[in-house]
Amino acid sequence: MKQKVDANKLRKGMFVCDLDRPWLESPFLFQGFLLRSHEEIEEIKKLCEYVYIDCEKGADKDGNILKIVFDKNKHGIEDKKPKKLRKPQIRKEEKKAKPVVQRPYTTGFEDEISPARKLREIAQTYVEKIYNDIRAGKSIQAKTARTIVNGMVDSILRNPDALVLLNNLRDRDDYAVAHSLNVCTLTLSFARYLGFSHREMVELGIGALLHDVGELRVPEEVMRKPGFLSKEESKLMQSHTVHGADILSTSKDIPATAIEIARSHHERSKGQGYPAGLREAEITHFARIVGIVDVYDSVTHNQIDTNSISSTEALKNMYNWRNEMFDSHLVEQFIQCLGIYPIGSIVELDSGEVGIVISIALERRLQPKLMLVRDEQKKPYMPPRIINLAHYTEGDDAARYEINRVLEPGDFGIDLKSYLLRDISLEVSH
């Protein structure tokens, strides 16, 4: 049952099913969602005069849940007295993960990209050394790992967009190293969004960086095999979680949370994961976070390029899987963190120009900051231009600077990696 509600009268617990305008004209990622915070309500009030709520999925205008039950004795339907909306039960460990007021960026993308690039190079060298040490039977230097992650946390706190954009630097011959760095970067960006403290981010980041070290004990021919694995090969592949926990357990000063992340990042909410078939309540909060990020990076940057899918398709699939595979609330928050046009996406404007998404303001997800790399005739901009779509909300240029579609990597000969590896002289357009 739908009810029309003035935006000023919305309250937590209501399920918004329709707006007073098309969903695509809004910054909301989902066409229908439960109001969980005052921030979401304020966002609607800024945009809409009224909305429609679904009283069968949430509270009604008076904050009541209308429950209809079947009474076998009367062979009919009976309306029971409405019950006041109960506050949802939140596990103690999850209270820290609720969205908070977002930290402001303290540096711009243009200022952060250079130190972020240097930091990425240092981190890559370190991860390569870790892998070589493990192959040689040596333990992991936890102090160095903490130093590297500390630097990444500092950069993410200043401006997460630079390091996240550099996740698109891929080398097919070095997939494991790139995957570890990418999962760590995205996990830290997500933790920033969730409001984690610096200490929590470092601890989580160490686990994310080292989550797949157990793969070094899996035969290389199994790791690189395309297509389906046999039962025996699947067992070998799945054993990397236990191997990873063992490797980290024998290394001095590795946080217990990192060991558990290595062991449990492939566990799934309904018990269909491995190695122990845990259900959601049994999986630690950190392991659930890394499990989500691990899947996202794996499907968008597969070791075999032909098996990769776009960020948009990945987020759509993960949203559909949220109730079966993942912590559904965390998946929704992860999607909100990345935005409709994730950093690194290549988009075409209504003007015909093509740009790379380099920064997203959470309150303006439909109007990111772009690095324009092709003009209206698809000829390269030299140098590339920085343009903030949020500056073009009114006037003659408003329609011109709207995103028309998301492109596939490589369209119009755009090599994202080449733009990230060289020093770019950027021209800023207002």
Alpha-carbon distance of 326 to 61, in angstroms, equals 31
- In this prediction, residue 22 carries a pLDDT of 67
Helix pair angle (109-135, 175-194), 10° resolution: 130
Which residues lie across from 19 on neighbouring strands?
A: 51
Is the confidence at residue 110, as pLDDT, over 80? yes
Is the confidence at residue 362, as pLDDT, over 90? no
Compute and round to an integer the Cα radius of gyration of the chain: 23
- In this prediction, residue 413 carries a pLDDT of 83
- In this prediction, residue 25 carries a pLDDT of 57
Which helix (H) or strand (E) element contains residue 258? Answer: helix 256-264
Return the number of other C-beta atoms located less than 10 Å from residue 250's C-beta: 10
- In this prediction, residue 172 carries a pLDDT of 55
Three-state SS at 83: strand
* Structure confidence at residue 430 as a pLDDT band (50, 70, 90): very low
Structure tokens at 85: 């909306």
Q: Give alpha helix (H) positions in 35-174.
A: 38-47, 109-135, 142-158, 160-165
- In this prediction, residue 24 carries a pLDDT of 52
Helix pair angle (311-325, 328-338), 10° resolution: 160
Alpha-carbon distance of 236 to 238, in angstroms, equals 6
Structure tokens at 174: 């070095």
| Least reliable range by pLDDT among 215-224, 309-318, 395-404 | 395-404
Express each pLDDT in 260-316 by its tens digit: 999 999 999 999 999 999 999 999 999 999 999 999 999 888 765 556 778 888 888
Least Cα distance to 302 among 207, 224, 205 occurs for: 224
Express each pLDDT in 370-386 by its tens digit: 989 999 999 998 888 88
Alpha-carbon distance of 369 to 396, in angstroms, equals 19
- In this prediction, residue 65 carries a pLDDT of 54
Is the confidence at residue 115, as pLDDT, over 60? yes
Alpha-carbon distance of 374 to 396, in angstroms, equals 21
* Structure confidence at residue 96 as a pLDDT band (50, 70, 90): very low
For the residues of 308-373, what is the DSSP string, one character each?
---HHHHHHHHHHHHHHHS-HHHHHHHHHHH-SS-TT-EEEETTS-EEEEEE--GGGTTS-EEEEE
Average pLDDT of span 21-26:
63
* Structure confidence at residue 125 as a pLDDT band (50, 70, 90): very high
- In this prediction, residue 84 carries a pLDDT of 37
Alpha-carbon distance of 30 to 43, in angstroms, equals 14
- In this prediction, residue 73 carries a pLDDT of 38
Instruction: Map out the domains of the chain with their CATH numbers.
Output: 2-70 (no CATH), 109-338 (1.10.3210.10), 346-429 (no CATH)
Average pLDDT of span 330-341:
90
Average pLDDT of span 64-83:
39
Least Cα distance to 115 among 75, 182, 80, 166 occurs for: 166
* Structure confidence at residue 219 as a pLDDT band (50, 70, 90): very high
